[in-house]
Structure 1
Amino acid sequence: MKFRSPFDSVPPADVPVAEDDAKMRDTNDKEAGIEMDNIHPVSGGEADSDQISVDAQAGVQGVEAMTKVWTRSNLILAYVTIWFIFFVDAMQSSMSGSLVAYVTSSFSQHGLTATTGVLSNLIGGLSKLPLAKVLDIWGRPQGFVLMLICLVVGLIMMAACNNVETYAAAQVFYWVGFNGIQYTISIFIADTSHLKNRGLMLAFASSPYIITVWIGGPLANAFLDGPGWRWAYGAFSIITPAVCSPLLFLFYHNYRKAAKAGLLPKREEHNRTTLESIKYYCVEFDVVGLLLIVTGLALFLLTFNLYTRQPGEWRSPLIISFIIIGPLLIIAFGAWEKFFAPKTFIPYGLLTDRTVLGACILAATLFISFYIWDQYFFSFLQVVVGLDITQASYVLNIYSIGSCFWSFIAGYAIRRTGRFKWAALYFGVPVTILGIALMLNFRKPGVHVGYIVMCQIFIAVSGGTLVICEQIAVMAATSHQYIAVVLAIEGMFASVGGAIGSTVAAAIWNGLFPDRLLEYLPEETKGNFTEIYGSLPVQLTYERGTPTRNAIDAAYGEAQKWMLVASTVIQVVSIISVLVWRDIKIKDFKQVKGLVI
């Protein structure tokens, strides 16, 4: 029997798009003011002209001019600097992931471990859309500096916080800055690489995670045993700006070089007053739409995190008002965008493209699933499996090291074949479902840690494939002019998915774990229930094998089981979201200009 490769079913590059599908896209894009013939590769792609795009926004024109004047050594130095920025950010992020349970426990609020990330994930993702406007209207360097400031402010606030509320607010600033820096660099990579090589370059940028996996846990341990977790954040508030400085210098130097060469088109002079400028930028950034969607989603999602802490729980006036006002604001956002917004928050012509929408839904689904099973995983590894901080961080970060390593293989395979859909459909999604489903049987008390590691490896290699595929998918469906927008939409879906996942995890944990813990605790320690529930270090003080520790382990196992059930079920959406993609050939598609990789 002849083996049938997934490539055998791929249609040739010149097969036309179905007529009804083309008409639908034309209609959507005309509504958004976008000419489809100029942005869709199946329809011919961008023009081959290497001139600066006169109809593009100032930020796009600036980076196109920059790539025309810089040298190959500048390009190489930029990518080396990017690697070091990702290295420092990855090290800090890995360390912070190991510290968060100890930060919340220091305020006797271990149950809020997942809650602290809900708002930060949500706003961190939604902030990419206005950031995309900053990058396109003002420029890449300006957006990079703005995000760097947000990140440093967040680190300083975390170092100085005196309660969980301040820590959660600091997380918002930190994750807006962290996600914004990585997003800005991703746009820079898209600006300076051919589409066929972009998967490899994105893999290169994320490769520091392969190293920082082994550093984050010991570093967190060193700070906890030494100056304390506050200094962990304080130190990186100094280190991060220092590492980012060389890339800023390259931006500045080459932008000035392009301006002196007369490559930048002259901008139209505006004599707006301060009030007129505020009004102009409020319209450009769709401030009303942004406030409506952020506030609505935040109120609705926080309901499931906070209900157990209110008198009367679901009958609490605060919770009831959140449930009512949150969805109403989300509905108001839809109405505003459809009927009233002068500039729409989300370009419907791009979002309704089935490849873009499918990739965005895939990003949301992956993050929902990941955050459901990951939120209390670090605590589980210490309490139930019996690992120390360093060992637990190694297991926790298998996803990071595996996905970053495997993304090189996925990027190379996409480069060789010139296509990406097959990798997601025939490998990424099935292996992800396999890894999560197997954890249902292995993540419970008494199971050897080796089985948990095996499941993590499955999820890591499939995740490395899917992240590359979804980013290539959204970029392949548009032109250079709209790359920042589609990546922002993809990032927004991912972060909203992370917020939903954290919400589900917190709801399961706060709704199930305390009840099971109180039920399983022996009579002699039931009086210590509040301290045990609220603090990871307190849980670890009970010797393994004692009735109290066994009760804690059993409660963890019960909560983890239902988290994994929810995480597995949501993956059905992943299959559908990949099936709707067009099988776009990217091998010979020209999308960027100037000296690029």
Structure 2
Amino acid sequence: MPLLDARDAPSYGTISREEDSAYEEEQLLQNHHETDGELSDGLDEAQEGVRKIEAINMTWTTRSLMIAYCSIFLMAFCTSLEGQTVASLSAYATSAFSKHSLVSTVLVIQNVVNAVIKPPMAKIADVFGRFEAFCLSILIYILGYVQMAASNNVQTYASAQIFYAAGSTGLQILQQVFIADSSDLLNRAFLALLPEFPFLITVWLGPTIADAVLRSSSWRWGYGMWVVILPAAFLPLALSLLLNQRKARRLNLIRPSRRKRKRSLAAVIRKTWYDLDIGGLTLLSTAVTLLLVPLTLAANTKQGWQTPSIVIMMVLGLVCLVATPLYESSKKLAPKPLLSLHLLKQRTALAGCALAFWYFMAFYFSVQPYLNSYLQVVQGYDVGTAGRVTQTFAFTSTIAAFGVSILIKYTRRYRIFVTIGCVVYMVGIALMLLCRQEGATHFQVLGTQILVGFGGGLVNVPVQLGVQASASHQEVAAATAMFLTSMEMGGAVGAAISGAVWSHLIPRKLYQYLPDEVKPQVGEIFGKLTKALEYPMGSPARHAINRAYQETMNRLLTFSIIVTIPLIPLSLMMTNYKLDQVRHRDPEPIVLI
């Protein structure tokens, strides 16, 4: 009589032998009736989406769960290929509007949305269900593609990032939530990498596809083609979740809450407001947006920081930032808070989220958002080569994360790998500053990317695992969202500061170094990557442009080294859990005969 535990089994809810449908449903019904009295109270306390996935987990067979994971991989492959492709298009899209410097602003918007959308998407998954949340993310994703492909100015293109980033990050968090639902801690480190494995292939295919799109068509088609591809990739997972959800309903495993009754429209709106914590979401997103976007906009206005609108945005952002934790800690205003702030009272969760913040900020000083442009201008790489070098981080970090997930499974420990990863990451960034110079060999440029990616792979997965280990099953989605939100917040801050530094230094250095006859072209050279590339290598103008890019990149790398200083102390603050002994505070194990 095998024991199937939502926490301890090799795969959550998996039936270890193949059974025919009639026998399986009979046993599920028998088990459900036998345990109904024991679990009903706990299920009623859980939100609707959590009760749905717990019921669905009781219906998985080995075959159906394998199909679900294959579907996750297929969708991850599609989104990974899309991400690697469009990463090389952003500079050309903004250059088409003579706003190349706003690449960082676009990334700030993406990271802001990435940061604030994870908690509400986790809440939507908990309140309405995993299937419903997946469908919503796909719809928002498609809207982003359509708007970017049709945009005729930089404002429309930038606003499309809201939908694009919301859909993208929604799928990211939901994939991790699904894996956390259906795996135990020892196997989760490996399974959590499933959405990352496609990077091993797409990191090389994406830039090549982008280069082909730019040569044969335009950057617009590079966005528009995913409107058809992405829904087709999602279809197998949608059918898998939907069929098992219907199966659970047929077996009466999904029951309405005992408190459920007819409500007025006002009561439904009020309940949805509190369930999704709309007030907390509004405060958080407003605070992050108003604080970070002005960092890049100030450098692109004549008055800079003295611009009244920018000052007002910063003041309002600070007010909203202070108000957010006060609002979230109020039981009356936020009975079901967006941010589970009490998790941060645990040392491991607090250290893990802080580590993710500084780690990703350093990434946005060293790899994103201007490395691709730097490689094309200073090193003379074509679009495809520059894209492949930039995405080497994703390739090597995926390999490192795969290796560390195997080590975690057999050592039952995770913290030692976090500390080692932090050391490697810091050394790699320091070598970037030393080796990434004009005229550097391809080996020097690529080698430092490999080292930084290896360190990043050792950091990311183990830290997320440690944060999840400190939470109950009901709070796994919230803990995962908080970790990923902290990471994206670091990325947003890094992208904003990078944009401010780039927009401030590049024009000033171009005026300083360019020959007098070329100085009238500074605005166009700064605004268009294609204009900078027109000047041949070795010419006085190109030498001046390369020097401006190089000195600005060195400044960003110096900032990157500084913000990695807290990483090692934070890694040592995390509790050194023995993962096979961690027990979440969940209902008793369910036995399937």
Change (3 A) 1:585 1:288: same
Once residues 302 and 509 of structure 2 are traced to their aligned partners in structure 1, the CA distance between those partners, rounded to angstroms, is 20
Change (3 A) 1:311 1:586: same
1:307, 1:313 within 8 Å by CA — same for their partners in 2?
A: yes
Task: Give the drift of 1:535.
Answer: 0.5
1:443, 1:560 within 8 Å by CA — same for their partners in 2?
A: no
Partner-residue secondary structure (3-state), 1:223: helix
Residue aligning to 1:282: 273
Matched, 1:141 2:134: no
Deviations 1:405-440 (A, max 9, x none): 111110001111101011111x11000000001111
Unaligned runs of at least 5 residues, structure 2: 1-36
Matches within 5 A, 1:470-485: 470-485=463-478
Q: Which moved more, 1:530-539 or 1:442-451?
A: 442-451
Partner-residue secondary structure (3-state), 2:173: helix
Partner-residue secondary structure (3-state), 2:217: coil
Task: Give the drift of 1:50.
Answer: 10
Unaligned runs of at least 5 residues, structure 1: 1-48
Once residues 199 and 594 of structure 1 are traced to their aligned partners in structure 2, the CA distance between those partners, rounded to angstroms, is 24
Residue aligning to 2:461: 468
Structure 1: 4+ residue segments shifted above 3 A: 49-53, 588-596
1:67, 1:595 within 8 Å by CA — same for their partners in 2?
A: no
2:203 aligns with one of 191, 200, 213: 213
Residue aligning to 1:62: 52
1:354, 1:581 within 8 Å by CA — same for their partners in 2?
A: yes
Q: Which moved more, 1:527-536 or 1:438-447?
A: 438-447
Deviations 1:346-394 (A, max 9, x none): 2232122111111111111111111122210000111101110111111
1:68, 1:595 within 8 Å by CA — same for their partners in 2?
A: no
Matched, 1:99 2:85: no
Residue aligning to 1:309: 300
Residue aligning to 2:99: 109
Task: Give the drift of 1:129.
Answer: 0.9
Matched, 1:424 2:418: yes
Matched, 1:537 2:530: yes
Task: Give the drift of 1:590.
Answer: 5.5
Residue aligning to 1:437: 430
Q: Which moved more, 1:286-295 or 1:392-401?
A: 286-295
Once residues 262 and 389 of structure 2 are traced to their aligned partners in structure 1, the CA distance between those partners, rounded to angstroms, is 58
Amino acid at match of 1:149: L
Amino acid at match of 2:545: I
Matches within 5 A, 1:39-50: none
Task: Give the drift of 1:588.
Answer: 4.5
Once residues 160 and 590 of structure 2 are traced to their aligned partners in structure 1, the CA distance between those partners, rounded to angstroms, is 40
Matched, 1:341 2:323: no
Partner-residue secondary structure (3-state), 2:256: coil
Partner-residue secondary structure (3-state), 2:517: helix
Residue aligning to 2:512: 519
2:511, 2:519 within 8 Å by CA — same for their partners in 1?
A: yes
Residue aligning to 1:203: 193
TM superposition score normalised by structure 2: 0.90
Deviations 1:481-527 (A, max 9, x none): 11000011111111111110101100110111110111110112111
Amino acid at match of 1:295: T
The root-mean-square deviation of aligned C-alpha atoms, in Å, is: 1.9
Matches within 5 A, 1:20-31: none
Task: Give the drift of 1:51.
Answer: 6.0
Matched, 1:502 2:495: yes
Once residues 241 and 39 of structure 2 are traced to their aligned partners in structure 1, the CA distance between those partners, rounded to angstroms, is 20
Task: Give the drift of 1:264.
Answer: 2.1
Residue aligning to 1:392: 386
Amino acid at match of 1:144: F
Change (3 A) 1:405 1:51: farther
Residue aligning to 2:395: 401
Matched, 1:75 2:65: yes
Matched, 1:322 2:316: no
Partner-residue secondary structure (3-state), 1:523: coil
Residue aligning to 1:243: 233
2:123, 2:338 within 8 Å by CA — same for their partners in 1?
A: no
Q: Which moved more, 1:428-437 or 1:520-529?
A: 520-529
Deviations 1:42-79 (A, max 9, x none): xxxxxxx9968523322222112212212111111111
Q: Percent identity?
A: 33
Once residues 520 and 194 of structure 1 are traced to their aligned partners in structure 2, the CA distance between those partners, rounded to angstroms, is 58
2:329, 2:341 within 8 Å by CA — same for their partners in 1?
A: no
